Copies of this chain bind each other. A is one copy, B any other.
Amino acid sequence: MEPSQTNNEEEEQLITPWEVDAKDGGKIDYDKLIDRFGCQRIDQSLVQRVERLTSQPAHVFLRRNVFFAHRDFAEILDAYEKGDKFYLYTGRGPSSEALHLGHLIPFMYLQDAFKVPLVIQLTDDEKFLWKNLTIEECQRLARENAKDIIACGFDISKTFIFNDFDYVGGAFYRNMVQVGKRVTYNQAVGIFGFTGEDHIGKVSFPPVQAVPSFPSSFPHLFKGKENLRCLIPCAIDQLKDEIKILAATEGLSRRSNEKYGETGKMSASDPNSAIYVTDSAKDIKNKINRYAFSGGQDSVEKHRQLGANLEVDIPIKYLSFFLEDDAELEHIKKEYGAGRMLTGEVKQRLVQVLTEVVDRHRTARANVTEEMVDAFMAVRPLPHMFD
């Protein structure tokens, strides 16, 4: 793989994860690298210690200094000597069907000599992200490489081989990677306003929220229905990113469809700006009476004369959300707007409506068991979902 750009701080020796090369074809100065990375040389006494601990000759790569440096390997040996085991990790990007020689030889020795487990990561996702290949092709190459690895003679009782597209998160993760490949960092900055000091966890998150729009993210629900449309009711504040992220992924799947609600600027972070399902009747009464902005007039006389300004009246807004009865709502708006109904009366009706809603919810929630949560969250088919 090619590095994304030449790194400024590496003037003399280009070292990215994807390339090691001295400038002008010169020789890499390994001593310099060892110093810079805070490593130690692997010397003869360390090799002899390995032989003593494993009761067998060291691998030629150790004996002949092909393995030439380490970090904290002595600490691992100290612990091993006291009976603490460790495990081995290696990985491969499955770029071609043919494994080249030499890559895996030392692992079998280490596994065998120290009697420790080995995990082998096949980064088919990396390959997909950097190369122009399909996910399926990358998965197939990973499997072909697994065969070469197995053919080396690894001990199945000590070896776990996995490819990211299947082990990390299945269909959902594959779609995350598909979306991630279609959105540049600059686009993400334009949408989310990330800065360079934001951590990459944030930068990685938008695909997580985008992929539920694709039916294939839920194979237990929608296998064979990959063209199903998705309707996303959402608030206007979720709109901009949804559109841009989905626009960037166009062609990946039939575009998802959205419509938008605006639910009255209730925020979960300001306790007085919203009615919670945990609020008591007293809380609700207090919040509505003290905090719900009224469009009524300052004095009863003025109110009787001018009526309420319904446009800015929060109790009316809430009633329009929660009072089901159209006729009653119209009646209240008419009477209140004409000044025949007072703010206190409207608020009283709202408190009543909200208290009912919250009471109903509280009772229902008390009846929700852990088993019901497990049942709703079980990864399962829904055979009657369209009935």
Contact = CB atoms under 8 A, between A and B. Distances in A.
Contacts of A79: 229
Interface stretch (A64-72, A299-307, A335-343): A64-72
B379 A167 contact: yes
Contacts of A7: 190, 193
A33 B203 CA distance: 25
Given A91-B212, A221-B117, A240-B16, A159 B376 contact: yes
Nearest to A263: B102
Residues of A contacting B: mostly = mixed
A293 interface: no
A320 B209 contact: no
Interface string A68-89: 1111110110010000111111
A357 B100 CA distance: 12
B184 A66 contact: no
* A interface residue count range (under 10 / 10 to 19 / 20 to 34 / 35 or more): 35 or more
A222 B87 contact: yes
B233 A88 contact: yes
Given A204-B200, A229-B76, A321-B66, A364 B152 contact: yes
Contacts of A72: 255, 257-258
A150 B373 contact: yes
A37 B185 contact: no
A327 interface: no
A55 interface: no
A117 B385 CA distance: 5
A367 B196 CA distance: 51
Contacts of A259: 42, 67, 69-71, 73
A359 to B, nearest CB: 12
A9 interface: yes
A216 interface: no
Nearest to A202: B129
19 contacts: A17-B238, A66-B261, A67-B260, A71-B243, A71-B257, A71-B260, A86-B228, A91-B209, A98-B277, A100-B268, A102-B322, A126-B209, A129-B205, A159-B376, A160-B380, A173-B173, A183-B200, A185-B198, A185-B200
